[in-house]
Amino acid sequence: MTLLTALARLLVFPGLLFAVPAAWFFLWVERKAVALMQGRVGPPFMQPFWDFVKLLGKQTPPRTGIAGAIMRAWPLLAVSSAAGAVGLLPVLPSSGGFEGDLILLLALLELPSICIIAAGFSSRSIFGEIGSAREAALSVSYNIVFLLAIVSIAASQHTFKLEALAGMHPSFLTVLGIIAILVCLPAKLHINPFSLPNAEQEIYAGPMTEYAGPELAMWELAHGLEWVAGTGLVATLIAPHITAAWLAGGLFVALAFAIVLLLSVLAAATARLAIDSTVRFYWQCTLIFAILAISSAILVRFRS
């Protein structure tokens, strides 16, 4: 990957220029779909964008010292890491990449979650701390399954390069891995039934309780970019290999859109689970499948 290609991927497609409007669009799709399924009107098309603009224009309470600087830094770090994760997605055919970029993608996908945990604790709010503790417990629960699923797919394909994984032929093992990733996505995106960290009827906004103005706008943007990165990762894994760039881009958007709709149905159809039920779900029910997937992948690798 040349420097120019890397910059184009990071800044243009599928990076910031595409990812930011896509983040607002996916946020709108999720909110609108859930609203329609609940018999409500839902927000207008431009609502996430206007929310972002409105928040940018608000004043924030002054926070001095190192604590204030740290609080301001977390949302920026979350946005940049989520944008970087989107930029790494191999959407277009032969768009480059490097060996091991899957590891970097996983790290970048995990960073917003860590930022949320740190932000909640650094805000010194009781609701923020509760939200952060829940996020930490949730993160420990679903990440084992998420990582095992991705590693099993990578092990079955003998590579940690995203472009090679995007062009793989579907097999039983990869399908199992993709299903495991899909099961983890609601927890990663904090939607029902795993919306514990930002349980708005219980702990206000959780880790975001003390945030306002441009900082909150950055959190919203980071959340939208997480949607694009999470759904985009699954979309690139299940999309067939297509040589035409425009067709590949269109298919990526369509598949990501379908996954957003699927997650919206799940969010509308379920209620929030308690933390012990969530942890039990991932550690008892899903982990078995993930271990099966990775052990099968390792066996396949030793056989070949």
Partner 1 sequence: MNILTMLGQNLRRGYQTLIFPARPRVTTRFRGLVEFDPALCTGCAVCRFRCTSRAIEFKAGKGEFTWSYNPGQCTFCGRCVEGCAEHALKEGRAEHALSQQQDTPPVYLRQGELKKSYTVARRPPAPKPQAPKPAADPAPAHSVTPATLPAVLAASKPQEGAAS
Q: Which conformational region is residue 170 in: left (phi greater than 0), alpha (psi within -120 to 50 degrees), or beta? A: beta
CB of 221 to partner 1, least distance (A): 28
CB of 277 to partner 1, least distance (A): 17
CB of 42 to partner 1, least distance (A): 8
Which residue in 74, 111, 274 sits closest to 188, CA to CA? 111
Position 250, amino acid: G
Whole-angstrom Cα distance, residue 300 to residue 178?
17
Closer residue to partner 1, CB minimum distance, 139 or 264: 264
Closer residue to partner 1, CB minimum distance, 131 or 193: 193
Closer residue to partner 1, CB minimum distance, 114 or 268: 268
**Per the structure block, which two tokens stand in for 32?**
């609108």
Closer residue to partner 1, CB minimum distance, 67 or 265: 265
CB of 184 to partner 1, least distance (A): 22
CB 87 within 8 Å of CB 5: no
Closer residue to partner 1, CB minimum distance, 33 or 221: 33
Closer residue to partner 1, CB minimum distance, 39 or 65: 39
CB of 270 to partner 1, least distance (A): 8
Q: For the chain, where are the alpha helices, taking DSSP H only?
A: 3-11, 16-37, 47-56, 65-88, 101-122, 126-157, 162-166, 172-188, 213-238, 245-269, 275-280, 287-303
Which residue in 151, 87, 194, 97 sits closest to 298, CA to CA? 151
Closer residue to partner 1, CB minimum distance, 186 or 206: 186
Report the sign of the C-alpha dihedral through residues 264, 265, 269, 273, in that order.
negative
Q: Which residues bind partner 1 (CB under 8 A)?
A: 35-42, 265, 268-270
CB of 183 to partner 1, least distance (A): 18
**Per the structure block, which two tokens stand in for 107?**
């790290």
Closer residue to partner 1, CB minimum distance, 265 or 274: 265
Position 23, amino acid: A
Whole-angstrom Cα distance, residue 223 to residue 112?
8
CB of 85 to partner 1, least distance (A): 31
CB of 6 to partner 1, least distance (A): 43
DSSP string, 252-264: HHHHHHHHHHHHH
**Is 125 buried (19+), middle (13-18) or exposed (0-12) by CB count in 10 A?**
buried
- Residues 6 or more apart in contact with residue 173 via CB below 8 angstroms: 152, 153, 156, 293, 296, 297, 300
